[in-house]
């Protein structure tokens, strides 16, 4: 068993089990039922160790791979939105709203578009939630995180350049101090984003 075999729905169920189940045996029972759909009591004694050993993948960190332009999910093709210039206004507004609500299921409709369709033509969030695997979801989300960080860094660098220009033209001490403080905060933000980008990949 590996992360490539786990659907998004299963992933969130696993997270919930690990966060809310204190008894290790009970956690194992729930994890086995969530992942393989079998009750611990129905497993032959000779196979129990196999299932428990297979759970060791949960301790391994997932290594991201480059996002692909198309993914096959249960014989259906889906294209992740990897070019922000092709994002529609409605899609962007929906994405921001769903992100704010942390609606991880319905946000899938904003990110994965069924092949041959335009955004909003059909609803596939339930299908993707139950069938899209975590490795695909993670690779695409890592892509977005890196992209967002790059866009934010570009904005911060541009802001920093403008503040340097203003500083050269400003003679009044209170304004210079205020600009210097903003520049220090901008530098801190740049450092944080660079560290985060290194951490996620």
How many domains in the chain?
3
Give the E-state strand segments of the chain in sequence order.
71-73, 76-80, 112-114
149 and 122 within one domain: no
Q: Which pLDDT score is estimated for 146?
A: 65
126 and 141 within one domain: no
Task: Kindly report, residue by residue over 57-99, the tens digit of the pLDDT.
Answer: 888 887 878 889 999 999 999 999 888 777 788 888 888 788 8
142 and 128 within one domain: no
Task: Kindly report, residue by residue over 105-163, the tens digit of the pLDDT.
Answer: 998 998 899 999 999 888 999 999 999 998 898 888 777 666 666 767 778 888 888 88
142 and 112 within one domain: no
Question: Looking at the domain assignment, is residue 95 inside a domain?
Answer: yes
Task: Kindly report, residue by residue over 24-52, the tens digit of the pLDDT.
Answer: 899 999 999 999 999 988 999 999 999 99
Question: Looking at the domain assignment, is residue 65 inside a domain?
Answer: no
14, 6 Cβ separation under 8 angstroms: yes
Q: Which pLDDT score is estimated for 128?
A: 96
Question: Where in the sequence is the domain holding 128, given as residue range(s)?
Answer: 71-132
Sheet containing strand 112-114, edge to edge, reads 71-73, 76-80, 112-114
* CA 179/CA 184 separation, integer angstroms: 9
**CA 149 from chain center: how many Å?**
13
Q: What is the chain's mean pLDDT, rounded?
A: 86
Question: Looking at the domain assignment, is residue 64 inside a domain?
Answer: no
pLDDT over 70 for what percent of the chain? 92
111 and 80 within one domain: yes
Q: Exposed, middle or buried by CB within 10 Å (0-12, 13-18, 19+), for 172? A: exposed
């Amino acid at each position: 068993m590996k992360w490539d075999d786990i659907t998004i729905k299963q992933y969130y169920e696993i997270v919930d089990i690990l966060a809310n189940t204190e008894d290790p045996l009970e956690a194992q029972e729930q994890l086995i039922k969530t992942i393989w759909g079998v009750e611990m009591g129905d497993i032959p004694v000779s196979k129990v160790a196999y299932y428990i050993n297979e759970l060791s993948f949960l301790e391994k960190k997932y290594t991201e791979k480059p996002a692909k332009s198309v993914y096959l999910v249960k014989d259906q093709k889906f294209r992740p939105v990897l070019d922000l210039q092709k994002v529609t206004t409605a899609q962007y507004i929906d994405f921001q709203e769903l992100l704010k609500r942390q609606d991880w299921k319905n946000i899938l409709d904003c990110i994965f578009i069924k092949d041959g369709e335009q955004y909003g033509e059909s609803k596939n969030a339930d299908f993707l939630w139950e069938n899209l695997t975590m490795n695909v979801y993670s690779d695409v989300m890592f892509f977005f995180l890196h992209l967002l960080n790059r866009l934010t860094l570009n904005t911060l660098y541009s802001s920093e350049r403008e503040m340097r220009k203003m500083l050269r033209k400003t003679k009044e001490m209170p304004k210079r101090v205020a600009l210097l403080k903003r520049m220090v905060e901008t530098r801190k933000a740049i450092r944080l984003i660079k560290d985060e980008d290194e951490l996620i990949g």
